[in-house]
Amino acid sequence: MAHFILGKMGTGFLSNVIGTVVYLAAQFLGMFVAAAMSYWVYSVTENAAYQSSSSPAKDYAFSCLYSTCPTSAQKNAQFTLLIDQIIGSAILAATVLAVTDKRNNDGGPRGMAPLIIGLSATTVGLSYGVNAGGAINAARDFAPRCFASIIYGKTAFTGYAGNVNSDYFFWVPLLGSFLGGCVAGIIYLFYVLAHWPEDENKQQKERKVTIEDAADL
pLDDT of residue 102: 80
pTM, to two decimals: 0.80
pLDDT of residue 205: 52
Using CA atoms in the order 39, 40, 46, 48, what is the torsion angle rounded to 10 degrees?
Answer: 160
What's the half-sphere exposure (Cβ side, CA atoms, 13 Å) at 109? 6
pLDDT of residue 214: 46
pLDDT of residue 200: 54
- How far is it, in rounded angstroms, from Cα 26 to Cα 187? 26
In three-state secondary structure terms, 96 is: helix
Number of domains in the chain: 1
Average pLDDT of the chain to the nearest whole number: 84
pLDDT of residue 4: 73
Q: What is the mean pLDDT of residues 150-165?
A: 88
Task: Check whether 141 has a pLDDT greater than 60.
Answer: yes
Angle of CA points 193, 196, 201, to nearest 5° = 110
Give the domain range for residue 49. 2-216
CATH code: domain of residue 167: 1.20.1080.10
Using CA atoms in the order 108, 112, 116, 121, what is the torsion angle rounded to 10 degrees?
Answer: 150
Task: Check whether 115 has a pLDDT greater than 60.
Answer: yes
